Structure 1
Amino acid sequence: MRPLAIALVGGVLIAPIPAQADVALMAGQQARPLQGAFNTVPVLHSNQPEEVHGPGILVTTTPGQTIAAETGQPLANATYTFNGEFGLHVHHKYYPNDKSRMGSGGGRRGELTLATLLINPSSQPVHIRFEKGAVRNSFEAPYQSDNLMGVKPLGHRPWNTGPGDATAVQMLRGKLDRRLADEITIPARSRIVLFSTQLPAKGIANGLLKGRSDGPFQMAVVAAEDPQSDSDLIAVLDQRRLAPGRVYLSRIRQIENGTVFSRVAGVAIGDEYTASVSHDLQQGALHVPLTSTNRHHFGTGEVQINPLVTRMVDSSLNNVGTYGVRFDVTMNLTGTGPHKLVLSHPTINGRGKFTAFRGSIRIETSDGYQEVHVGMKSGESLPIADLYLRPGQSNPVKVSLVYPADATPGHLLSVVSDQQLANLKQRETMTAVAAAATKQSPPEVPVAAIKSPVFEPVTIRPAAPPVVAPPQWIEPPPALPNLEGVSAAVINPTRMSESLMLRYQQAVEAQQKMMNSLLGR
């Protein structure tokens, strides 16, 4: 962590405050590495290109090469043969090159069909059973950004926060979408369509699936505009042309040296990450990285990203987003009384606030389990559960999530006292109040640039004395000119009534206070 700073806000000394700390909740404290591990299940990820501009192959694990639409050059396929347990993750958007398909002017938008194909290269049929998964597009599961921020109970029906979260919830709960077959057979030396989804222009589709085969097979993800049958989808594979939209083909060297992060098109090893840690909260708060990256590991040096065993040349080098990966973290806690389970995302220097996470989390304790939906901005720390620790025993807390697409990895999971979280919220509130007050204050003007106003001495003469009775003020006196700098001695008390003199003295004092405030005195 970076050095601490002391701040004075509203006359109250607040310390310590992190100077540009990654996570304010962690100021002055250290995180512990989880030292967890990925399993060895191979997963095909189809996320590059994320934005698809037209028909073609998105990724294929068959041997050989396919032709890039942008360059006309052949590119090696992400060759891999699955056999046994496997996973699949698909995430794409449709932005057609043909603008007539965008639906401008009130016309009907064109549709792109995304399909996953299964290929059996052997002379024996291959049987596959599916354990869990779902396929959704953004019209079946719309993303509502504003009214789903914060922490809410998930409930039986998941919140609609985009197709990435909708499919992740199915995986988290271990359920298979009723629209997907739980068993399928690929005949010998044949190809079949596993599933397809129609995606209108400007839409997003996401698919997550896990299964097990009794023999070798390969997979491909293809896109077709207005196909009439499964044969049209299989024909896309035979054309051996990649779909347009591969914007990283001109940045291969930057991908390889790690200065540019592309999306993933290839096979990653691992669809689950498990870890366990024991901690005595009487010794202080617990902070552990969750979905940590090279950039955001909170001083632990731990990077929780699984490797790729094969990839397209314009893919990232590893599964940088960890989309679709299930994280199971068990914390065996000792301590006493109420605590908070908190999820944080670091402040990203140089970037404004953005939605860093919108997804679902399961929390299990000895008292039972709960599921919550979390919508989080960058730089936030949100309490996601209340914990009550029983003294003299271990209190296990298990946190599980399937990392959803369109989230930004690099989170911190913490268990802190209620007081530590309350102190953070108080600092944040006071900082926000101070910032708001600063915006309302007039801009500072250098003293040297301020020219003192010049006033001529003012002599105030009373009206002629009345004939019958002493004067009585019915209306207030007329407005005075700006009297900054005018001494009260200028006003001759012997030539005016005490009431009149008092009114003018009050006016002078009011003018002086106003000028002093403008001059910052």
Structure 2
Amino acid sequence: MLPLLLSLTLSQAVPATPPPTEILQVQSVRPLPGKLDAVPVFNSNSPELVLKEGILLSTFPSAGKKVTSAHLDFPFRGRFDIFAHHVAKADPPENLRSLYLGIILHNPGSQPVTVNILEGASYLSQPDAPFIPLSSFVPNNLGTVFAGPGSRVTSDVLRGRKQDIFPSQIIIPPGESQMLLNLPIPVQGLTPPLNGRSTYMRLRSNGNIYAASLAMFARTNTDGSERSPNLEEWQNLLDQGELSTPRDKVPTPITGNNKPEIYGRVAGVSKGSRWRAYVVDKPTSKYLTIPQPGEAFSYGLSTLHGGMLGTGQIQTAPMLVRYPDTAYYAHGNYGIQYSIKLPLYNNTQNQQTVSIAVQTPIKENELSKSGLRFFVPPARQVFFRGTVRLRYQADGKWQNKFVHLVQKRGETGEPLVLLNLKPGENSLVEVDFLYPPDASPPQVLTVSTQSN
């Protein structure tokens, strides 16, 4: 605590930041058409902070395992995704061993199984993708703009990239296991000794596969240097280990549409990796009629229990299997891709300027006023930090651009694109992004027409 005199001096020298002013954007908020697909996602995010070795998430059968409750018995086949985000911290502070994150795949069948790695990336907070301050709107066509590992991973996967650390495919012989990931989360040399790793991968297998994510400290060589755990050591941890502790906060049960006091973190298999939306006036329409001049409407993004913004729509992925002390839904939809098509149509007699924007309104379940509420200036908490891709027609040519957004709570956001539509003209706009880890839902996609 500061001495009283110094505290008074500072309070006199530094004017207090005035509280943000709330503004209202009068408009409608609509449910987003479409739905999540059925692709299962191995979703490993609990415990987020890993202090002890153990099992993070196992979809293996429980037979033959020491702690049967740690295994959820869910096989993957065909398309599936893997998401993992975990943080390591020196505990106690002088224990600077690297924590390794391992993801193991097992073929339970009698024939070899090929697993193709379609896209994938894995980055550390330090040094790969530190949380640096960025402007709210930065062009990112080259993919070099990011803040945090979640921002960098989703930017890569959005572009269809596969990091060089991953092979194009692995072939797992019958009854055997292989490591898909075996990477450190180092803390030595960091102040504070804290680091995180985010991973997202899209895969396809031609047979049944079980998967598990595990945490193990680096093994020590005879000369005192660190080495990564080997397959046998990972397998032993899977067979003999228990769930990693300490556990995260237990989520509040979800009843009706009430807002949970604690959403909890995810550890299980969620259903759905992509939401495709073709946004038109009504299901039988071909176009989305633009708002009247000076007006706007929005579509919810990643709406959830307690944050439906009056749409009545919950977009968060349901859990197919989960541990009982973890989240009931994949709140936030981390890593899920939104692919939204808006065939805009100008039905007026004049040329109109139309904007498309991502916004982060104040979270509400039912709208308390006739529109969305924002703060000016926005609150200090960052609620969205990731890259959005835009494809649209301008001057008869397709334009393709990427923009990195940083939005704080209550931020109205800048237009992703401004289109000048002639009377009777239509223009297709496509918006794609992967909902970034380290973000807080919900957001909206807003279409507005400037005043004449």
- Asked whether the two chains share a fold, i.e. TM above 0.5, the reply is yes
Corresponding residue for 2:139? 153
Q: Is the 8 A contact 1:44 1:88 kept in 2?
A: yes
Deviations 1:12-56 (A, max 9, x none): xxxxxxxx97xx46x321112123111111110000111111211
Say whether 1:221 aligns with 2:213: yes
Corresponding residue for 1:312? 323
What's the secondary structure of 1:171's corresponding residue? helix
Partners of 2:170 and 2:81 in 1: how far apart? Answer: 15
When residues 288 and 66 of structure 1 are mapped into structure 2, their CA distance, relative to the original with a 3 A threshold, is farther
Structure 1: runs of 5 or more not aligned: 1-19, 102-108, 421-521
Identity of aligned residues (%): 27
- Structure 1 residue 255 displacement after superposition: 3.8
Partners of 1:303 and 1:256 in 2: how far apart? Answer: 12
**Which among 394, 417, 429 is matched to residue 426 of structure 2?**
394
**Which among 73, 78, 86 is matched to residue 80 of structure 2?**
86
Q: Is the 8 A contact 1:255 1:314 kept in 2?
A: no
**Which among 338, 344, 355 is matched to residue 340 of structure 1?**
355
Corresponding residue for 2:263? 261
**Which among 269, 272, 278 is matched to residue 270 of structure 1?**
272
Corresponding residue for 1:238? 239
Q: Is the 8 A contact 2:48 2:85 kept in 1?
A: yes
Partners of 2:102 and 2:423 in 1: how far apart? Answer: 54
Q: Is the 8 A contact 2:124 2:185 kept in 1?
A: yes
- Structure 1 residue 74 displacement after superposition: 6.3
Between structures 1 and 2, the one with greater helix share: 1
Partners of 1:34 and 1:256 in 2: how far apart? Answer: 22
Partners of 1:260 and 1:358 in 2: how far apart? Answer: 22
- Structure 1 residue 93 displacement after superposition: 0.5
- Structure 1 residue 96 displacement after superposition: 4.1
- Structure 1 residue 238 displacement after superposition: 2.1
When residues 128 and 373 of structure 1 are mapped into structure 2, their CA distance, relative to the original with a 3 A threshold, is same
- Structure 1 residue 393 displacement after superposition: 2.6
Corresponding residue for 1:357? 384
**Which among 87, 98, 101 is matched to residue 114 of structure 1?**
101
Alignment of 1:389-428 (within 5 A): 389-419=421-451
When residues 74 and 84 of structure 1 are mapped into structure 2, their CA distance, relative to the original with a 3 A threshold, is closer
Q: Is the 8 A contact 2:64 2:239 kept in 1?
A: no
Partners of 1:176 and 1:332 in 2: how far apart? Answer: 31
When residues 143 and 309 of structure 1 are mapped into structure 2, their CA distance, relative to the original with a 3 A threshold, is same
Q: Is the 8 A contact 1:65 1:240 kept in 2?
A: no
Question: Could you say what the CA RMSD is over the residues aligned between the two structures, in angstroms?
Answer: 2.5
Corresponding residue for 1:37? 35
Corresponding residue for 2:3? none
Work out which structure has the larger RCO, using CA pairs closer than 8 Å and 6 or more positions apart in sequence: 2
Give the letter for the 1:212 counterpart.
R
Deviates more, 1:277-286 or 1:34-43: 277-286
Deviations 1:307-341 (A, max 9, x none): 11101111111111200100011112122332222
Q: Is the 8 A contact 2:141 2:401 kept in 1?
A: no
Say whether 1:294 aligns with 2:310: no
What's the secondary structure of 2:30's corresponding residue? coil
Q: Is the 8 A contact 1:66 1:77 kept in 2?
A: no
Partners of 2:245 and 2:356 in 1: how far apart? Answer: 44
Structure 2: runs of 5 or more not aligned: 1-20, 188-193, 220-226, 281-287, 365-374
Give the letter for the 2:204 counterpart.
R
- Structure 1 residue 282 displacement after superposition: 4.6
Partners of 1:378 and 1:65 in 2: how far apart? Answer: 47
- Structure 1 residue 240 displacement after superposition: 2.5
Corresponding residue for 1:382? 413
Partners of 2:391 and 2:71 in 1: how far apart? Answer: 42
Say whether 1:280 aligns with 2:289: yes
When residues 339 and 256 of structure 1 are mapped into structure 2, their CA distance, relative to the original with a 3 A threshold, is closer
- Structure 1 residue 149 displacement after superposition: 2.8
Would you say how many aligned residue pairs link Structure 1 and Structure 2? 384
Give the letter for the 1:393 counterpart.
E
**Which among 167, 174, 180 is matched to residue 181 of structure 1?**
167
When residues 410 and 66 of structure 1 are mapped into structure 2, their CA distance, relative to the original with a 3 A threshold, is farther
Partners of 1:92 and 1:123 in 2: how far apart? Answer: 34
Between structures 1 and 2, the one with greater strand share: 2
- Structure 1 residue 352 displacement after superposition: 5.1
Q: Is the 8 A contact 2:200 2:335 kept in 1?
A: yes
Give the letter for the 2:402 counterpart.
E
Q: Is the 8 A contact 1:30 1:299 kept in 2?
A: no
Q: Is the 8 A contact 2:125 2:131 kept in 1?
A: no
